[in-house]
Amino acid sequence: MLWSISPLGEAKVGIPYALKHEVNIYITFVACFLANVLVFPIMMFFLESVNRYFFKWRFYKKTAIKIAKRAKRGAGKNVQKYGFWGLMIFVLLPVPGTGVYAGSIAAYVFRLDRKKAFWANTIGIFFSCVIVWVGAILIMSDVDFKK
């Protein structure tokens, strides 16, 4: 379930991994959801406090700018146009390149209100977890979709 806090997979990987290893389905959902929610305050602390100290190093600065541009490009128009709702939908989509890490960076880049950004990310994470959780349960329970 630590995959859910990792930028390499978030809950999109954490949920199927836990279910594959026969962790209770409800514990899986709650633990992966909460682990994913923890990412936002950690990321905001990092972006607002620690980030400026690392900018001294050329490699870090170059990489950080590249990641920020990618998050801005991915979430840009929707977050600028729809704010809270745009960010929530961006985080909600359980596809690569979206999620709480990209959502946190987008909220920081677009200077969204921190409370609103937190709730947009949390709601988006919840629905993303539901989609992945239900999908993983259906796939792992050998549901016959041909009926």
What is the C-alpha separation between 139 and 109, in angstroms, rounded?
A: 37
In a domain, 91, yes or no: yes
Domain count, the chain: 1
In a domain, 45, yes or no: yes
pLDDT, residue 3, reads 67
In a domain, 69, yes or no: yes
- How many CB atoms within 10 Å of residue 37? 19
Query: Cβ(132)–Cβ(94) under 8 Å?
Result: yes
What is the C-alpha separation between 105 and 30, in angstroms, rounded?
A: 24
pLDDT, residue 1, reads 58
Taking the model in full, what pTM does it have? 0.82
Greatest Cα pair distance, the chain, in angstroms, is 60
In a domain, 146, yes or no: no
Range of the domain at 67: 2-140
Assigned token pair, 71: 């998050």
What is the C-alpha separation between 32 and 107, in angstroms, rounded?
A: 22
In a domain, 147, yes or no: no
Q: What is the pLDDT of residues 50-95, one digit of tens each?
A: 887 887 888 888 888 887 777 777 777 778 788 889 999 988 988 8
